[in-house]
Structure 1
């Protein structure tokens, strides 16, 4: 049980994005898309599902940025 709680706490510091890639998209094009997301959006691969028809569902994650509000300081 403690492991499950630690895993859920660890995941709470990430934001997730799901990308669905149709079956007619070439593998090299999908790789290029995911590489661009990783490089410019700082996303990393969390999970990949390959469906029977050839479509792919890719879950990307990146660290959520914790920003303190400065609106209270404006006066």
Structure 2
């Protein structure tokens, strides 16, 4: 059975697209995170929900 771990990342208003892209790329490359949801609020801030699979090892003996 697959389990997922979630993390919320808040991006304040005024953050450039380049800086946002760089932050999300670092999370994806080094932490194996994927984007699950992006919410854009009226004030221009964003909340990005990231997820990744939790792989549990089973004992064989």
Q: Same fold (TM over 0.5)?
A: yes
1:64 is aligned, of 19, 39, 54, to 54
Q: Please name the residue that 1:49 is paired with.
A: 39
What is the distance in 2 between the residues matched to 1:67 and 1:24? 43
Query: Which has the larger strand fraction?
Result: 2
Ranges of 4+ aligned residues in structure 1 off by more than 3 Å: none
Unaligned runs of 5+ in 1: 1-8, 70-75
Q: What is the root-mean-square deviation of aligned Cα atoms in Å?
A: 1.8
**Cα deviation, residue 65, structure 1:** 2.4
Pick 1 or 2: higher relative contact order, CA cutoff 8 A, min separation 6: 2
Aligned pairs, number = 59
Query: Which has the larger helix fraction?
Result: 1
